[in-house]
Structure formats: C-alpha cells, structure tokens
C-alpha cells in the first residue's frame, strides 16, 4: 500500500515515508563480543554492540566505533 501511494505521487518510498523530515544514513553498529546459544552460553547476552549515535557522519561513526 505504501509503495503504491509513493508511486502515485512520483516519490521514492523512503521520501514518502520520511515526509518533510530530514533523512540521515543509518550509523554502523560494531559487534565487540558475540556469545549466547551459538557459542556455548558463556554469558546470557547474545551480542554486545557499540554505536556512535552522536556522530555527525557515517565516516565519523565508523572511526569512533573502530
């Protein structure tokens, strides 16, 4: 349904969904430790991830997380 409305308005789906809101590229998440069921359950958490939500660009987020 969303796709049909976007096409009828000659907009890409992402632009139709975002409306007038600013759009940003998703930031990377870096896995720093993986465990859980597939690794013998040494800890109760499946994965520990790091993000940089205050980064101003993808490049900056990648640099911070790396």
Range of the domain at 28: 2-65
State yes or no: pLDDT of 7 exceeds 90.
yes
Structural domains of the chain, count:
1
Averaged pLDDT, 7-28: 90
Q: What is the pLDDT of residues 18-66, one digit of tens each?
A: 999 988 778 888 887 766 566 566 666 677 888 898 888 889 998 988 8
pLDDT at 5: 96
d(CA 60, CA 51): 11
Q: Where are the beta strands (DSSP E) in the chain?
A: 30-34, 47-50
pTM, two decimal places: 0.49
pLDDT at 33: 73
């Amino acid at each position: 349904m969303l796709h049909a409305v976007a096409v009828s308005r000659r907009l890409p789906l992402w632009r139709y969904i975002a409306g007038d809101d600013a759009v940003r590229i998703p930031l990377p998440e870096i896995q720093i430790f993986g465990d859980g069921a597939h690794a013998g359950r040494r800890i109760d958490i499946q994965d520990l991830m790091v993000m940089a939500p205050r980064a101003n660009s993808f490049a900056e987020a990648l640099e911070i997380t790396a």
